[in-house]
Amino acid sequence: MSVRNVLTNVSKNRSLKKISLVIRIMTVLLMTIPAVLTCSCQTSDVKEVKLVTSDTRERIDIYIDDVLFTSFHYSSDFEKPFLYPVNAPGGYVITRGFPIDPRQGERVDHPHQVGLWFNHGSVNGLDFWNNSSAIPAGRKGGYGHIIVKEIVKAESGEKGILELIANWNDNEGNTLLEERTRYILSATDHTRTIDHITTLTAVNDTVTIFDNKEGLFAIRVDRAFEMPSDEALVFTDERGNPTTVPAVDNTGVTGMYLSSHGLKGDAVWGTRNDWVLLSGTKDNTLITMGIFDHTENPGYPAYFHARGYGLFSINNLGQKSYDPNQEAVSYNLEKGDSLTLRHRFFIKSGTEVMPEEADSVFVEFSKVL
């Protein structure tokens, strides 16, 4: 099925949902007027976002009030670009340190899960998601690499803008997809927001993005935001490779998921939502992070790949991989065809994010095109 046919079918399905979606958004707007009037995201405390480039280190540091918010790493020594670390307001690190900067007591599984990133588990059968330095050279042929070719813009202001062009390559350096990504970064006293807008274009031959649970826009969180667990768990990727996540000490582990449909904890995994929040306490401070889908995305509302061990991800390009009762949906991009995906990552420190506030963030993001 071509991407045109897939998106046509998606469009037909959306037309059936359009009225209910409009009613939902109007209802959310009415319900969230108090939250919008009082929440910390109002413009009175908007912060300056400063981007500092370093070509020699292939890194762009992003500051809020001269305090590091995050850094964009794009060295070709890594299998993909990513943001790391990611700091909540107040300077609290919310990303796992391993494998870049391991911290005492944290998990050391899944070395490909680093920082905040975007990729997928099956593009023309190549696994971009699971690739890492831990993959032996003799097996690299089954994996893909994302190489940043150009930083188009790194602009400071009330909204920081980072634009880049990257190639999704096979292990021989042949390009399957060209990625054009725009990050929009903003901040207030108590919040941080990262909008990630990516267009993928097939540049040579037809590219098929297969239905796969390994994706898409994801973060691996600090130990404080994992869910407490006394069990060792084994997870298997699409190639049948098992990874054991051992049980560890639960001291200071306080994470809990909440979905837009009211599901909590492990029940969130493999469900479709407008948004999912992950809250936890670190250094006696309540911190909530959220990933938000966009109404114009293919596969909306997306499935969430949210694991208690600290992987927090949204995936618009997986369906049957999460729900075996659903039809497998693959996207065939003929040469020149494109697919655009929009996601928001939101962080708040100090006070609880109520569902009404999350709904208002979702409605606000739905206006970003």
Indicate if the pLDDT at residue 108 is higher than 70.
Answer: yes
CA distance 33 to 164: 36
CA distance 73 to 76: 9
CA distance 238 to 235: 10
Of residues 359, 339, 72, 300, the one with CA closest to residue 197: 339
Spatial CB neighbours of 213, under 8 Å, sequence gap ≥ 6: 121, 238, 303, 305, 315, 318, 321, 322
Q: Tell me what pLDDT residue 244 has.
A: 82
If you average pLDDT over every residue of the chain, what do you get? 90
Most confident of 19-23, 52-56, 312-316: 312-316
Indicate if the pLDDT at residue 246 is higher than 90.
Answer: no
Q: Tell me what pLDDT residue 55 has.
A: 79
Instruction: For residue 326, name the pLDDT band (cuts at 50, 70, 90).
Output: very high
Instruction: For residue 22, name the pLDDT band (cuts at 50, 70, 90).
Output: low
- At residue 363, the 3 state secondary structure works out as helix
Instruction: For residue 369, name the pLDDT band (cuts at 50, 70, 90).
Output: confident
- Kindly list the domain boundaries of the chain, sorted by start residue: 3-365
Instruction: For residue 239, name the pLDDT band (cuts at 50, 70, 90).
Output: low
Q: Which two tokens stand for residue 132?
A: 């890492």
Of residues 312, 314, 268, 277, the one with CA closest to residue 293: 314
Q: How large is the C-alpha radius of gyration of the chain?
A: 20
Of residues 54, 51, 90, 98, the one with CA closest to residue 75: 54
| Exposed/middle/buried for residue 79 (C-beta within 10 Å: 0-12, 13-18, 19+) | buried
Spatial CB neighbours of 258, under 8 Å, sequence gap ≥ 6: 264, 268, 276, 277, 278, 279, 355
Across 211-238, average pLDDT: 87
CA distance 163 to 151: 6
pTM: 0.89
Q: Tell me what pLDDT residue 10 has.
A: 47
Of residues 163, 166, 133, the one with CA closest to residue 147: 166
CA distance 192 to 95: 14
CATH numeric code, 3-365: 2.70.98
Which DSSP string do the residues of 14-80 spell out, in sequence order? HHHHHHHHHHHHHHHHHHTHHHHHHSTTSGGGPPPEEEEEETTTTEEEEEETTEEEEEEE--TTSSS
Spatial CB neighbours of 118, under 8 Å, sequence gap ≥ 6: 80, 181, 196, 198, 216, 217, 218, 343
Q: Tell me what pLDDT residue 37 has.
A: 45
Across 209-235, average pLDDT: 91
Across 229-240, average pLDDT: 69
Residue 350 contacts residue 22 (beta carbons within 8 Å): no
Q: Tell me what pLDDT residue 44 has.
A: 58
37-41, 222-226, 286-290, 296-300: the lowest-pLDDT one: 37-41
Cα dihedral across residues 257, 258, 264, 269: positive or negative = negative
Instruction: For residue 245, name the pLDDT band (cuts at 50, 70, 90).
Output: confident
| Exposed/middle/buried for residue 345 (C-beta within 10 Å: 0-12, 13-18, 19+) | buried
Higher pLDDT, 43 or 141: 141
Q: Tell me what pLDDT residue 359 has.
A: 98
Give the tens place of pLDDT for each residue, 262-287: 999 999 999 999 999 999 999 999 99
Give the tens place of pLDDT for each residue, 138-149: 999 999 999 999
Percent of the chain exceeding pLDDT 70 equals 86
Across 338-366, average pLDDT: 98
Determine what percent of the chain falls in helix, strand and coil, rounding each to the nearest 5. Answer: 15, 40, 45
